[in-house]
Every structure is written in structure tokens, then in C-alpha cells.
A and B are shown apart, each in its own frame.
Chain A
Amino acid sequence: MDSTPFPETALPMASTYLDHNATTPVRSEVFDAMEPFFRDRFGNASSIHRFGQDARAAVEEARAQVAGLVNARPGEIYFTSGGTESDNLAIKGTACARKADGRHIITTNIEHSAVMNSCAFLEREGFEVTYLLVDENGRIDPGQVEDALTDRTILVSIMHSNNEIGTVQPVGEIGGIVRARGVCFHTDAVQSAGKLAVDVEAMGADLLSLSGHKIYGPKGVGAIYIRKGVEIEPTAHGGHHENDVRSGTENTVGIVGMGMAAELAAEERESEFRHLSEMRDALEARIRVEIEGVRVNGHPQRRLPGTLNVSFPGAEGESLIMSLDLAGIAVSTGSACTSGAIEPSHVLLALGRDPRTALGSVRFSFGRDNTMGDVDYVMSRLPGIVSRLREVSAASAGQVPV
């Protein structure tokens, strides 16, 4: 921990965490609920004795809590290891179960990599995948889905809200169209839970993915909603846990945490929406006024409340993030500087941004512990950082396309 190569990063400075779409801290109510299950209440939920019964009761209570978050019945909720596994299970599980009916899948060009790469895997296995193209705000028109459906379509997977730009899809309308055709409809609601109403009935969802660590629960636990009667083939075969959908001894600690997080998320959703919107809107307004030449990415209205994605042409994303980090501000960029040569975010490219602009984008994502003071602090540092990097890149001298 203390071997940080650059001493400045080790300074106990004020830290402003604005990366809640990446992950959230476990809130104290959740931690308190989980704690007994590490030690005293360690039973295996499949055991017959009282230790097992105790764990089983806790898992079932958590199932009801998660069901409450999405207006489902507890029996339609299955616990997984997270959003990624839920997405994989929804897509590969449906493909495997329904391949005799057809081998065509419809999704979008802005999905999370868990969905995108599951679809890419199925393409290699001989499935045909249609990637609907979003508009410049990141929206899909339900008509596009209608037009893309064929007799061989077995699954439509369209995310409810996007993790990078926050754009929310008209999932209710899409779900209606898809289910009327007898096709299975999956939506990734990982980013929506706790911020927007997530109602499997209103959405017409057959399958829906959730993750614990985006709602102030622990990492490594998630859930999938599977509408009663919808069949999917498990991806992990084993001892018939979770009604044979997802084998493996239940992660009681994580499940209990996710349950508590889900209950609180449902309770506080409306006040949370207002709180997050207020801070995001304030930051957006100030950035537009105080920094020249910015471009806000995502739908201006139909957007997650705490998400603000901004392009700062002339400054590069990783440089912005590292400079902000040195100032104690934690944000992220969609561009994958982790995977070698910088690659612009597929989501921003899908909006029609040129690669250079896409590379200069930053995502601010607010959470429940942020305050208006954080907006002020960001604005005390951000304009200087952007102009310094623009100076280095000579965007001001017109050598870099703005």
C-alpha cells in the first residue's frame, strides 16, 4: 500500500469520489447485515440442520428484498456472482435453450462488454447478431427493434441505462414489441437500480440483470430476474442450487448484503434521484459556462441522474483522469487505456463522435455521499487542468482538431 511510486498519490488529501458507475462503497447498514454471516451464521443454505436453515432463511429474505426492487416475485430472482454473470447467463442461457427455434439475436452497439462479448461469442458459435445503431444521444427507437425482428429471432437484449453516458432506453415500449412476437427480452438494469424505477412488468422484461456493487452492496454478487415460465440453460452445472439455474453453494454473505442494499435502494430511490440530479445538473451547467468547447455526451433528459459524460477536445482522457486524481478527484473515462494502445470508447464512437473527441472524454458519476461542495471542488480544479492539457497539446494553437 505504501510503496506508491509517486509520493503525491499517497498524500492523505481530500478525496472526491465521482466514479459511482464503476463501483460504490458498501454502506454501513449493508455491512452490518453481512457481518454475522462471515462467522457465527456460516451455514450452507443447502444443509438440513439449523445452521443450514438459518442461512437458507437469510438467502430467501434477500431474494424477497431483491424481488421488491424490481417488482418481481421472489421465485423469479436468482443470485449470481454479479452483473457480468447475469448478462452471460441471460444471453448464452437463452441461446442454448432456444437454439432450435432460431439463431438470431438483436442487441445494440452500446452495450456493456458483458453483453457485447457474450454476443460475440455466440456469433463465433454460428448465431447471427444484429447490432442496432443508436442515435447521436445514444437512444434506440422501438421501431428499429420491430424492423429487425425475424422469425428466427430468439432474444432481444437492450440495456436499460448505459454505464458510460447514462442514456436510458425506451425499454417498456421495446419489451412490449418483443414479447408480442414471442421473443425473449433481456435488459441490463445494472446501472438503473436504485436510481430509476426498475419494474419488470412495466418493462416487459423476461430477463433482467442486476449487480450488488453498484447499489452500495458488495462486489462479486448479483442477480438475474427470470420470468416464471422462461427457460434458460444454466452456464454452471452442478449441485442444483438456485433452482438449478445457477449451481454453487450460495454466497450467503454477499447475498445478504445485496438483499439489504436492494431494500434500501428501493426505499430511497426517489430522494436519491433528486439528490443525484441536482449535483449532476449543477456540474454540467458550470462546465458548460466555465470551460470552452465542451460537448456533453448522452441524452439531455433521458439519462441516469448522477451521470455526466463530457468531451474536452484537445485534452486526452487518461491525462485528464490522472491530473484529476492528483487533485484528489476520482473519475473515469470510457477509453480503454488499460488494454494497450488507447482505444476510444465504443459507446462514444456509436454516438458519432470522432475518435479524438472520444479520447478526450470523462465520466463523472455521483453517489449518495456526494454534496454540492464536491461540485465546487471539481470546478476549482477542472478548468485549470483542461487548459493545461490543451496548452500541452496545442489545441489552442489549432494544431489538433478541436
Chain B
Amino acid sequence: MYSSTVMDHFHAPRNVGDLPDADGVGNAGNPISGNTIALHLKIADGTVTDAKFRTFGCAASIAASSMVTEWVIGRTADEAASIENDTIAEALGGLPPTKMHCSAMAADGVRAAIKDYRSRHGTVRKD
């Protein structure tokens, strides 16, 4: 059902937690009846330097959340904001079709966190 990368990230998720001094926080998912992610980013000079997550959800959404923290660290805010819905699914070695929404939720979390960062820091995109 799941790739070994998914199982690895599910079983030993990276970067679980919160960043009390986060520069951007992204909440995504369905808090009433589904998976949710809270993604905290630390951003210095326009580059993500740290990321932590909390996720309520199935194995795929926990793995996607863990993977998205690894993916986002070291990227610029612009790169992060342009994440595609299936970026994380690909990084995980694929997800079952019925679990693609978990990859999309992780991407939504990144976009929301960058948006939060920009609104807090007044760094509206110049283009």
C-alpha cells in the first residue's frame, strides 16, 4: 500500500514539534473531520532555516508532513511558495491515488506558512 519512504517517515517522522519564534505558521486540512497540519517555519534572509510540524491524520499525511519539512528547509520563500500539490507525493516515492490529498495538504501547509510569513513581514511579492 505504501512505499518504504512513506513507512519510514510515518514510523520515524522528522521535525515533529512547534517553533515558538516561527516566522510563518501554516494551518491546512479539515479541522472538523479530516487530516490537519500545523507547519512552523523559521525564515532568515528569505530562506527557510528550520521547519516543524504537528499533524493529525493517517500514515500518509504524517509521512507527507515529515517529508515537507525536509523538502522546505534550505529553500527560498519563493521556491517554497511555488510547491506543487504532488511535489511531496513524488518525494515520498508515490502515494496511492486515494491518498494524494495528503500530499496536497502538506503543500497547502507550506503555502499558508509562506503567506503568513509575508503578511507578518510585509514582504509582499515584488512581481
Contact = CB atoms under 8 A, between A and B. Distances in A.
B22 interface: no
A392 B36 CA distance: 11
Nearest to B54: A394
A342 B34 contact: yes
A359 interface: yes
Nearest to A317: B58
A322 B59 contact: yes
A391 B13 CA distance: 11
Interface string A320-354: 00110010000000000111111010000000000
A338 to B, nearest CB: 7
B57 interface: yes
Interface in A287-314: 314
Contacts of B55: 392-393
B38 interface: yes
Interface in A349-401: 355-356, 359, 391-395, 397, 399-401
Nearest to B16: A392
A341 B2 contact: no
Interface in A269-284: none
A319 interface: yes
Q: Choose among B3, B13, B98 the residue with the greatest number of A CB atoms under 10 Å from its CB.
A: B98
A267 interface: no
Contacts of A29: none
Contacts of B13: 392
B33 interface: yes
A400 B11 CA distance: 21
- Interface class of chain B by DSSP: mixed
A133 B59 CA distance: 33
Given A5-B2, A5-B3, A355-B33, A316 B57 contact: yes
Contact of B58 (A7, A326, A342, A355): A342
Interface string B81-113: 000000000000000001001000000000000
Contact of A338 (B2, B18, B36, B98): B98
A101 interface: no
A356 B33 contact: yes
Q: Which of A316, A359, A399, A401 has the most CB of B within 10 A?
A: A316
Contacts of B54: 392-394, 397, 399-400
Contacts, number: 75
Interface in B25-62: 31-36, 38, 54-59, 62
Contacts of A341: 34, 98, 101
Interface size class for chain B? Answer: 20 to 34
B34 to A, nearest CB: 6
A316 B63 CA distance: 13
A87 interface: no
Contacts of A319: 10, 57-59, 62
A355 B32 CA distance: 7
B14 to A, nearest CB: 11
B27 to A, nearest CB: 9
B58 A318 contact: yes
B46 to A, nearest CB: 28
A318 B1 CA distance: 12
B34 A314 contact: no
B4 interface: yes
A359 B4 contact: no
B19 interface: no
Interface of A: 5-9, 314, 316-319, 322-323, 326, 337-342, 344, 355-356, 359, 391-395, 397, 399-401
12 contacts: A5-B2, A7-B4, A314-B56, A316-B56, A322-B59, A338-B98, A342-B34, A356-B32, A391-B16, A392-B54, A393-B55, A397-B54
Interface of B: 2-4, 7-8, 10-11, 13, 16, 18, 31-36, 38, 54-59, 62, 98, 101
Given A6-B2, A8-B11, A316-B35, 6 more contacts: A319-B57, A322-B59, A340-B101, A341-B101, A342-B57, A356-B56
